[in-house]
Amino acid sequence: MTDHDSGKGVQRAELARRTGCNLETIRYYEKIGMMPVPPRTPAGYRVYDGQHVSRLRFILRARRLGFALEETRGLLGLVDGGTQTCAEVKERTERHLADVRMKIADLKRIERVLVATAAQCSGQQVPECPVLDALAS
């Protein structure tokens, strides 16, 4: 199959290579409707074009930024419907940012507890362990 820039498209393995996405993940995104099902060659091979590459990269970037599948689907819906406004995208992003900040706060709290608990542990080859005691209480 020739390069997608020539207008002929690429097969799934090449799409995966270009985007760094797992083949099964591409199949999954197609199955759940986040990626449009590509046309097939007469021999039955799927052919992905530049729009497929762009869409998959969009999905992957959103996922790397921590957007859940449904949040990503919502962003794609705005793009697909041509109804996106900067205000709506900003509101969704700020809502996601608030969730990220809550997770960071939770992780910092967990870190403080683990640091304090580990500090109580002697690390010696003894049966008593303050870490296990703290987990059991």
SS3 of 54-78: HHHHHHHHHHHCCCCHHHHHHHHHH
Q: CB burial class (10 A; 0-12, 13-18, 19+) of residue 109?
A: exposed
**What residue ranges define each of the domains in the chain, with the CATH number in brackets?**
4-84 (1.10.1660.10)
Q: How far apart are CA 20 and CA 13, in angstroms?
A: 10
Count the Cβ atoms, other than its own, within 10 Å of residue 45: 14
- Quick: pLDDT tens for 51-93: 999 999 999 999 999 999 999 999 999 888 887 788 988 999 9
CA nearest 41: which of 69, 8, 65, 87? 8
Distances (CA, A) of 117 to 49, 96, 97, 124: 54, 31, 30, 15
What percent of the chain has pLDDT above 70? Answer: 95
Instruction: Look at residue 8 in the predicted model and tell me its pLDDT.
Output: 75
Query: CB neighbours of 15 closer than 8 A, spacing ≥ 6?
Result: 21, 26, 48, 52, 53, 56
**What DSSP state is assigned to residue 8?**
S
Find the mean pLDDT for residues 114-131.
84
